[in-house]
Chain A
Amino acid sequence: MSQKNRLASGGRIDRSKPLRFKYNGREYQGYQGDTLASALLANGVDVIGRSFKYSRPRGIVAAGAEEPNAVLQLGATEATQVPNVRATQQELFGGLVSSATNGWPNADMDLMSYVGKVGGRMMPPGFYYKTFMYPQSMWETYEKFIRKAAGLGRSPLENDPDTYDKINHHCDVMIVGAGPAGLAAALVAARSGARVILADEQNEFGGSLLHSREKINGRPAANWVAETVAELEKHPEVLLLPRSTVNGYHDHNFLTIHQRCTDHVADQAPKGQVRQRMHRVRANWVVLATGAHERPLVYGNNDVPGCMVASAVSTYINRYGVVPGNELVLMTTNDYAYQTALDWADAGRKVVAIVDTRQNPKGARIEEARKRGLNVITGSAVIEVQGSKRVSGVSVAPIDARGDKVTGSVQRLSCDTVASSGGWSPVIHLSCHTGSRPEWRDDIIGFVPGKTVQRQLTAGGINGTYSLRKVLEEGARTGAQAAESAGFADAAKGIALPLSEEVQEGPAMALFHIPHTKPTARAPKQFVDFQNDVTASGIELATREGFESIEHVKRYTAMGFGTDQGKLGNINGMAIAAKSLNQTIPQTGTTIFRPNYTPITFGAIAGRDCGELFDVKRYSAMHRWHVEHGALFEDVGNWKRPWYFPKAGESMQDALDRECKATRESVGILDASTLGKIDIQGKDAREFLARVYTNAWAKLGVGKCRYGLMCGEDGMVFDDGVTSCLAENHFLMTTTTGGAARVLEWLELYHQTEWPEMEVYFNTVTDQWATMTISGPNSRKLLAELTDIDLDGDSFKFMDWRQGKVAGVPARVFRISFTGELSYEINVQANYGLYVWEKLFEHGAKFNLTPYGTETMHVLRAEKGFIIAGQDTDGSVTPIDLGMSWCVSNNKPFSYIGKRGMAREDCNRPNRKQLVGLKAKDPKKVIPEGSQAVDDPKQPLPMKMLGHVTSSYYSANLGHSIAMGMIRDGHNRMGETVYYPQADGSVIEAEICSPIFLDPKGERQNV
């Protein structure tokens, strides 16, 4: 089959550049400049899919974003599959591979259609709510079949080989749509010097002018388009974005534009190029010049391939040189659509009839049609189409003036194409995105944008302005207004109005649903929403059943929920519902659109923020060393922290045992750089600390460190750490790794909003310092080899810090301990971190200096009963619950944060969950973390639970397992036994004990 519907000349295609492509396994030819849809029509492909509920054959009905049927699977390889590509918007390229998404064995010969024919009557809207209920257990079986039948195209099964991008812009005037209104607006705004962005979803600018036969300044409109684009390209402040759909309009004039950079070239982007790009635009003023979509009429069997929207037929003829049939019947409620019959006749094909629903239409185009001898039948309508895979004829009947009923006898006409026009619906989608509700206008029979709080203007078809002359005027005026509002004072001077003839038109008829001789429920199916198989009778049934709100109608019938979002059908559906409810369209409701205007690739929305770049990774200065030494890593916040350092052949437990023992027996080293560090200065710093920590800070001297707990105003622990007094008005606070940013913001919050009179300053210094903790009985000996600081235990005591040099590098050394061992936390400028770390290892070999990660740190601190905020606490635990009342001072003059919260009734009731130590009766058994304690493991479900295990390990140093956990009233239950029922049915028995398993007097850290 060779392009039997292609005209020998005309259109904007390049006949010297033939392109081969595949559809459903068969090879076809089209031309450069075609869309996939125009190429398929050129080749006489009628059926491009099957409808999802009734499996009816479907053809192409439109030529743009509003197309509901021509939704195809695209992609030559598995990895480059794209589901649901709208053929009317996909530019043709050589080697394109496409297929229909529904139909078995294929769309043309679909066996399911018999099911559709037979079962169709069983499937009114909402039928699934009324059946498939019995027996209860069967629904999920029914569901499997329903799911299989649904779904259009398929997802690729391999990862996307392409990359996507985002780019941010600011502009003075953002113009959406480069049809006549948008181009005129852009030209005027550009001449004023404003920064202008002009975006259009199509490959070429021009909009309706690309298929129009109208003239501007006495010459073909396309010339004006070319000249205008040429001038815009010369303005340095203008950004022109073809193939770019403004898909979302968000608050405060933020718009997103989805640009398809390479989809017109191949299904995979050429090497080094991004496939698609999202532009994120903050515009001072926005001009919506999005035009209008033509509404088809709703009549019997209006989904048979060959039934099209009138203006789409003109588009295929004039823009693509394709006549999608031989014999046309045009049905219209307005003058404008006569142009389609004239175009058809000009293409040399037969116009069987123009069926005008108006009784006595008058207008210039009608005169021309009559003059040219076309058969104009007035006061009539196409009530029904014959044919299955292609239109074979129509039934035409006279109707009354209101279009409510058929008034005379039916005549049959033979034809293969039916074009229909019910007038135009302004493309108001974007104006709805920010919450503005559209308003109905009877004079244009359509919704226009309603009031908005955005800095938004509209021009052209979106306002229901359709005459080219007025559209151009409105565009230019609006462009000037936008630029002037954005501060370009003399923008109006840039207006040089292009002139076009005014075509005299008569009034259109407000008709949506064509009556039939039979009542709607018994007439042939009259489709409103093609993609979801929503019919006029379905809508009437919905209202009859009591679904009276338009939202109910839409939801019950699924109208407008397809990938076309009801661009063709919604207004017709509303009109049918309104009529059925005996009310007007505005009484019935309005239609609200949400982003996206047309579907947007997920990959483009994510841009580069996926895979490795999904989230920030933070590394310490010693990270490279950890990698080189075989560390496994744990994600803590954004940080990658060494988890443990296994040696060849070691299991995780082997490695932990070795690391734990080495530390307690000689010396281990931990990279503690990730702990949050906040530098606090100012004369009120000390008082500030007293207000945000639960314990006392008044007497902490210079050179001293202290551990502190932080609570919220509710008295619940939320962070902890050691804060050191660097100088009288200067402190260094440490926080948990994950809590650093939150703590800093919290400090700022209290300072800025509650106590601004306090002189105190906070700054994060986490990244500025590298921190390495050496811990164990030999840590002093090791450090002594590298530092000038006097490490003598009597002068540099536990909970002191000193300044000096370590490995020749200026350092702060803190004698604090999270292991209970003699420990030194060495802080050096981050740039020196790796150097000092390696120096420690040079000298540490003789002490068997052993690197350990977070897991060994957890074990060692648990042996000492030290908590980890966020693991042993969860936002419902007070310091008292933790057994840390020693860290709560009630003598402070100021009512510190957390004090009043802790005093609430519930925080002081008996039987609260309290943190205790737990010893499994079987010393080798590690109670799994998260296990829940009960008193009686044999009680029936639901069991009365006492609390969960928060931390649990095998302690190589102690030779038995240890655990910490919450137990109701646990502090009063020392020595009692609790039981932990496990998922496998076993029960672990444990004794409640002190959480301090090792060195309860704290002698080791004080040596």
Chain B
Amino acid sequence: MFYIYCPHCGEHREEEEFHAKGQAHIARPADPDSCSDKEWGEYLYFRKNPRGLHHEMWVHAAGCRKFFNVTRDTVSYEIKEVYKIGERPSVVAAGN
């Protein structure tokens, strides 16, 4: 069970208070109507799914209800950093 630091509450809390919400930094296309089906499908469904460093979104569902981002290793499950929506990660995989 993960021990997650909520950047809004300023505390470590148990994973049970959070929901994982998938890959972070997926922006809704600014003009959906001009997207092709393929572009829209990519926005909707296609994901990075890396083995290793992953930037993902969590929500403090049973806490402050705020969304935030986590950089986590998907193999060791180590959390490398936690940062707010709108911020950029400081820990990134080589090549990214």
Contacts and interface: CB of A to CB of B under 8 A. Distances in A.
A251 B77 contact: yes
A905 interface: yes
Contacts of A780: none
Interface residues of A, number: 26
A252 B32 contact: no
A974 interface: no
Residue picked from B3, B32, B61, most chain A C-beta under 10 Å: B32
A252 B77 contact: yes
A253 B77 CA distance: 12
A142 B63 CA distance: 55
B14 to A, nearest CB: 7
A899 B33 contact: yes
Interface stretch (B36-44, B47-55, B88-96): B36-44
Nearest to A762: B65
Nearest to B77: A251
Interface string B15-41: 000010100000110011101010011
Interface string A293-308: 0000000000000000
Contacts of A252: 1-3, 77, 79
Residue picked from A253, A254, A748, A752, most chain B C-beta under 10 Å: A752
Contacts of B61: 745
Contacts of B28: 713, 754
Nearest to B61: A745
B57 interface: yes
B67 A895 contact: no
Contacts of B32: 895, 899-900
A282 interface: yes
A533 B75 CA distance: 36
Contacts of B73: 453
A253 B33 CA distance: 48
A749 interface: yes
B59 A254 contact: no
Contacts of B35: 900
B59 A282 contact: no
B2 A435 contact: no
Contacts of A713: 28, 43-44
A336 B66 CA distance: 59
Residue picked from A252, A744, A745, A756, most chain B C-beta under 10 Å: A252
A748 B67 contact: yes
A753 B22 CA distance: 13
B85 interface: yes
Interface string A876-906: 0000000000000000000100011101110
Contact of A748 (B40, B65, B77): B65
A714 interface: yes
Contact of A282 (B14, B33, B37): B14
A756 B85 contact: yes
B10 interface: no
Contacts of B3: 252-254, 282
B10 to A, nearest CB: 17
A251 B73 CA distance: 12
B54 to A, nearest CB: 15
Contacts of B44: 713-714, 901
CB-based closest 7 A-B pairs? A900-B32, A252-B3, A895-B32, A251-B77, A453-B76, A752-B67, A254-B1
Given A435-B76, A453-B77, 14 more contacts: A251-B2, A252-B1, A253-B3, A282-B3, A435-B75, A453-B73, A745-B19, A748-B66, A749-B21, A752-B66, A752-B67, A754-B28, A895-B33, A900-B35
12 contacts: A252-B1, A252-B79, A254-B1, A435-B76, A453-B73, A744-B65, A748-B66, A749-B67, A895-B32, A900-B35, A901-B40, A904-B40
Interface of B: 1-3, 14, 19, 21, 27-28, 31-33, 35, 37, 40-41, 43-44, 57, 59, 61, 65-67, 73, 75-79, 85-86
